[in-house]
Amino acid sequence: MMANKFILDACCGCKFMWFDKENPNVIFNDIRKEEKGFIERRKNLEVNPNTQYDFRNLPFKNKQFKLITFDPPHLKGKMDKSTLKGCYGVIEGDFESYLGLGFRELWRCLDDYGVLFCKFNDVHISFKDIELLFPTKPLFQTSTNRSKNCITRWFCFMKNPNDVNATEEETEEEK
């Protein structure tokens, strides 16, 4: 049944952003699974993905998805029991390689003319640094949650096969 799903949420977390958290066209993926109650202050929250793959190494075919959403952790540091880190996770090591490998792998799984949305908040890592990891130039962006210390931005990319700015296509074996 997974083969019929044409949308990938690469790291769905608690699926806050989804209207339909059981959308049948989506593979909801996250590296972790958490039971209700894992965050003390928000007893109903859970992380309940369909699959638990690492977005840096996915078992999907080249060009399998028409739409991919990528909302990776944006906080650096150690995981703890706070609501923020519980919901959003953390990047413990080198963020350039962690997120760079993620972008590369998702670009491989995206179909020609497919769309990738990336959401990021610059509280710990600047947009200037994240932009260096992008697979190509975004088509457009929008900002939400603008606060004194940080901004959340959404970037929209399309995988145009004639795009001269795009990351070289991986010549990996079909998975």
Ligand X SMILES: C[S@@+](CC[C@H](N)C(=O)[O-])C[C@H]1O[C@@H](n2cnc3c(N)ncnc32)[C@H](O)[C@@H]1O
Coil, strand or helix: which one is 145? coil
The three-point CA angle 5-120-40 to 5° equals 85
Helix (H) or strand (E) run with residue 8 in it: strand 7-9
d(CA 170, CA 156): 21
| Among positions 72, 100, 114, 135, the unique one binding ligand X when judged by CB under 6 A | 72
Of 65-73, 122-130, 131-139, 162-170, the segment contacting ligand X by CB under 6 A is: 65-73
* 58/130 Cα distance (integer angstroms): 21
The footprint of ligand X on residues 90-129 (CB under 6 A) is: none
DSSP 127: H
Size of site (CB under 6 A) for ligand X: 19
Q: Least Å distance between CB 145 and ligand X?
A: 12
128 Cβ neighbours under 8 A, 6+ residues apart: none
Residues in region 8-27 near ligand X by CB under 6 A: 11-17
Q: What mask, x for binding ligand X by CB under 6 A, covers residues 33 to 62?
A: --------------x------xxx------
As measured in angstroms, the least distance from the Cβ of 164 to ligand X is: 29
Positions touching ligand X (CB under 6 A) are 11-17, 30-32, 47, 54-56, 71-73, 88-89
